Every structure is written in C-alpha cells, then in structure tokens.
Structure 1
Amino acid sequence: MFSERTSVGLDVHARTTTAWALDGETGEVYSERLDAETHNVLVWVATLPQPAAVAYEAGPTGFALARALDGMGVRCVVAAPSKMERPAGDRIKTDKRDAKRLAKLLRMDELPEVRVPTLAEEAARDLVRGRDDVRRDLARARNRVSKLLLRQGRVWRGGSGWTYIHHEWLRKQRFTDTDTQFAFDNGLEEVLTLETMRDRFDARITTTAARPEWSPVVLRLACLRGIDTLSALGLAVEVGDWQRFTGATIGACLGLVPSEHSSGPNRTLGPITKTGNSHARRLLVEASWQHYKPYRGPGATLRRRMELTPRHVRLRADLGNRRLHQRWENFLVRKKNTNVAAVAVARELAGWCWSLAVMED
C-alpha cells in the first residue's frame, strides 16, 4: 500500500520533464517543467516533503532515472503504458495532465509496474538486440544485391546462397555500365561489412554467455531444440527474473496467448495478444519450428550441450523435446494451420524454458 507522504508523477521526454506532485498531508500541489537531465529531476524531488514516491512511464528514456531515484532512497515505480487505462471521454492530453494522472494512480496503488532490469541485464540486452539489428540490416542488404543481379538477368544456380562459393561468384560479376557496377560494388561491400559485424557480435555474445551470471541459465535453455547460445542468452536477458512467473503465466506475459472478447454466454478468441517482450516472443516462435522435425534423441550438437548440465536437467530437457514434437504431430493430425501451430508450440516452449531456468541444482 502507498505509505509515502508525497506522490510524484513525471512525464519524461528526451529534453524536458513535466512533474506534478501532491502532498498527502496538506493537500498542497507542486508542479514544474524541468530540464530532462537526471540531476535536475533529483534536485527537484529532494525539495518536496519527504518521504516521496515517484512514477513515470516506461519508454525510450530507459531506466537511468529510476536507478538514480532508488539510489537516493526514493521509491520509483516505472509504469507499463500499454496496461494503463484511460477514460473513453478523456479527449485532452497534455504533459501536465499525464504527470498528474500518474501521481494520483500511484497514490491509489493502481499503476501496472514493470521490472527495472539490472545494469548487467540492460548491457546484455543491448548486445543481443544490436546483433538482431545487424541481422535485419544484413537480410535487407543481401536482398538488394540479389534483386540488382536479378534485374540484370544474373541468377545464382550453384546451390545455397551466401556461402563461400557464392561470395566468390559475386566478386567475379562485372557490368558494362559503370553506374550499375558502382551500385553493385557498394551493395556487396555493405553485405561484407555487415557479415563481419555479425561475426563480431556472435563472438562477443559467446563470451558474455559464458559469464557466471548468465552461464547456468544459458546452458540449461540450450538443451532444448531450436535454442542455441544466442537464443538462450536472448531469452535470459529479456525475461530477466524467471521466478516472477509460473509455467502457466510466462506465455501470457510474452503475448503468446489468444486475445479474447467475451460477453455473457458468448466467448470469442482472436489472434495472440502480442503484448510483452517482442524479442523473446520472436525467439520462441523461431525455435518452435525446430520441433517440427522428428525427435529420436539428441543429435551430436545437442548432446554436447546437454553434457554441460546436470543429469536431472538433461532428463527434463529430453522430455520437453519429445513433448514439443508430439504437440506438432497432434496439430498436423488435426490439420491446423502451421503458423498457428508454431505459435501454440512456442507458448508451451516458454513453459519448458521456465521449468529449466528455475530448477534447483
């Protein structure tokens, strides 16, 4: 329950912060438009009647302000904006009104709170998401080069693309028009640069995943098919504290459960909610497709990963791999759409990841 004397709402932007505070004892209201520098916000909060509690919405400004407030002994709640209700008739939105609303909801303990990641978690998230950005950029760059060649009537027919042999073929391409040659050379150079960046990210992720704070969870998650070191570290840093969930709730937190609109006797289920962490959701859906293939025991790569974990973890992971493939078979027998089946398997995969992450040694 709210126990502080002053409740403070902050509407935080990149360059300015609008603050609104209410003294619960005297009813006095404090309002100020501040520079967004963290130091200025801390100084203003320190002038208010203490003890105080502060709330602001999660967004692109990150969690530096929350950590600074906690460091000075002020409780800070970072609210989830997607879960905050707004009256349908409220058609006026200003920074001051938003700050006032946050302060009042904080006093009523009605703010849906998000977990503030640790500095180590946030740094690892930056690393994993940076690698994902490079992956997307590389896919777009490769697509541009391929389509340029296609417009010139040149198609690679030597097997899989973007292999060493394919790269050798690309380097030999020459065009009579100098402008076309210039565009092709720059496009190929971009591909090679991004591939180098991706390899550097992969090496760094492997090093980070071996650190003591990540290694136990990464090794356990990597015992499941479709989850390698990159995916395991991504799930570990995006979920953070696995103890917050249960096997039944983690799928809902990651937006892998159906949306619902029910009233009276009518119950209507729709597409998945897609709430929560989109990065973790993508990793799980991609991994779920690996369970489509028959499973007759761990292969050589998966066996090497399993050997790094305790026996009870290996047994649990093997049971999960068998169960997830069986789920795929059940969906195929029922002639379910494969995309729908992949999401359903991903939801169950999230539960198996949770069960491995929270297992005791």
Structure 2
Amino acid sequence: MTDRRLVRISLLTALAPAVWGSTYLVTTEFLPPDRPLLASTLRALPAGLILLLLTRVLPRGIWWMRATVLGVLNIGAFFYFLFLAAYHLPGGVAALVMTVQPMLVLLLGAVLLGARIRLLHIGACALAAAGVALLVLQPQAGLDGVGVLAGLLGAVCMASGIVLTKRWGRPDGVSLLAFTGWQLTVGGLVLLPVTLLGEPLPERLTWTNVGGFAYLGIIGALLAYVVWFNGIARLPALAASFLSFASPLCATVLGYLFMGQTLGPLQLLGAAGVVGAVVLAQRGAGEPPGTPPGTPPASGAEGGRHGDDEEHEHEHGRHDAVSGLGVHPSSLTAPPAAPAPRPVPPPGPGSVPR
C-alpha cells in the first residue's frame, strides 16, 4: 500500500471515531437521563434492520456464529459499556480509560494475527495515553468504580472486535453494507431483552430525545460503522485502533464549542501528543503483520480472501475472452504428440531395396 493511499484510507476511517466523539455530548444533552441500555438498543437495532432490508442477505454456515460474536463485541456489549461509562464518568475520564484499547489490540494481534510487537508501537500507546490525559482530564474529575469498570470492559470488547474482524475478514460475495447490518442487528437483538427486563422505559420522549436517538442511529451507527469496517478491512489492526483517538479529540473540540469548556496550553499539548501517537502507529502499516520488509505478502487470514478473489477474476476474465472468440477454452489445450516412428532395421544380406 502506497503512503498516499494509506493516508487517504486512514483519514476516511478516522471519520467514524470522530463522529463517535459526539456521543458524550449527545448523551448528556439530548437523551433521557440514566438510560444506557435504551440508548444502546435504539442506536444499533434500527440501523441494522435498515441495512438488512436494503441488502436482503443473511449469514450462512459458520458465519452465523461469527456474525453473532462480532455483533456482540463490536456493537451490543461495546455500546452498553460505552453508554454506562458515559453516564457514570466525566467524558475525559471515560476517554482516558478507553486508551488501553490499542495496547490490547497490540497483544491480541500478536496472538491471533502474528503481528510483531514493536517498541515504536508501545511508545505510541504510552504517548497516546499521556496525550489524552492532558487533553481531557480536569482537576475536579472524579472516579466512579462502575464507570471505570465499564470503560475497561468496553475497551476489551472493541479491541477483540477489531482483531477478530481482521482475522475473519468478510465472506465472499457479501457487501460491506450487509456485513455491517448483520453486526448492528445482532447487537441490537442481544440488547433488546436486556433493555426491556433490566431498565424502565422513560415515561415520555421529547422531540429532542427523538432527534438524539435518530442522530446516534443513522450517523453514529449506520454510516459510521460502514466507514469503520471498511477501514479495518484495509488497514492493519493496530493502525485502525489508533484512529479511535479521533474520538476524544472531537469530544474536546465539541465541548469547547458547545459546552463552555476551555482549551489551554496543556490541552493543546495533549492534542499534539495524540496526533503524534497516531502518526507513529502508522509507520510500517503497509507491511503485512509479521512480515519482514521487502517480503511479498502471502495469502493468509487477512489477505487470502482477496487473493483468491483476484485469481478467480483473472481466470474468469480469461474464460470470457476466449469464449468471445467462439472457441471453448478446453479446445485450446495442446494436441497429443504424434507417436514416434518405429525404427527400420538395417537391410540384411541379400535383401533388395524398395
């Protein structure tokens, strides 16, 4: 992957966590209070059903299990822990807790993807955590045990979802919209009974609440996750995970613009640290995990499906080109070689040449 293409894909993928950075603002200002399960369900399930109706494709075989696992990790459990942390912690503390996610991706990627753990990437993780701390923490920020635990579990879910999505890829013939729809629907269906049984519904919803739910479902889930899963498919797992730091950056900017929060020298220094960490994480991102520089990529868990597709398309194109000449490809095989002539014995004494 060229540097220019890597930058383009990274910037596009970063739009998803940038949108997610608005979750704290929307949750606290537009949604009913203390309803993390309801917010999670209404963010996931309607968006997933819309995509299923548009694509009309369901999983097959082992992909029923895989879609369920990915839907729970990427959507259902992650959404719940994310909203639970947002309701129990200040936005800055919640964002800081989530900074353990790239380190988890680094460790899981080494186990499941064969990725190398580089000192550079460990340093990028530390720099990102320090940058987020400077960016979002306030002196009066308090800690809540439930919120911290929810943030950590959310980071575990997201890291596991990123690595497994990278390892399993996407089934042949399934569009990105269908793949996203499976996960959003599964996540929403898992959350639905838990919401109905474990959380009272609000007595009434205002139009402000409806607008907040619509924003989180259409922009924050349907569109954002299509962009996110496209980026995971094209970028190394660790590089994609570092792009999630666009979320606290966006949250800080929105807090400054709409919630009266201030931006001082420490916050600007923290923002620079986060950006620097993201840039460091992209170094070597064009190389397949565990592959020495200069080694051609081999088909495997991450690239095998695309390689097989290219080989199939090449063969299919050759078949079409030959068929267009009115000749069946099987007739182009080399004809069998003619049998060698039998040796003629030398004439014996008294024989007459003919």
Q: Same fold (TM over 0.5)?
A: no
* TM-score of the two chains, using structure 1 as the length reference: 0.26
* TM-score of the two chains, using structure 2 as the length reference: 0.27
Instruction: Report which of the two structures shows the higher radius of gyration computed on alpha carbons.
Output: 2
- More contact order relative to length (CA 8 Å, sep ≥ 6): 2
- Larger helix percent: 2
- Larger strand percent: 1
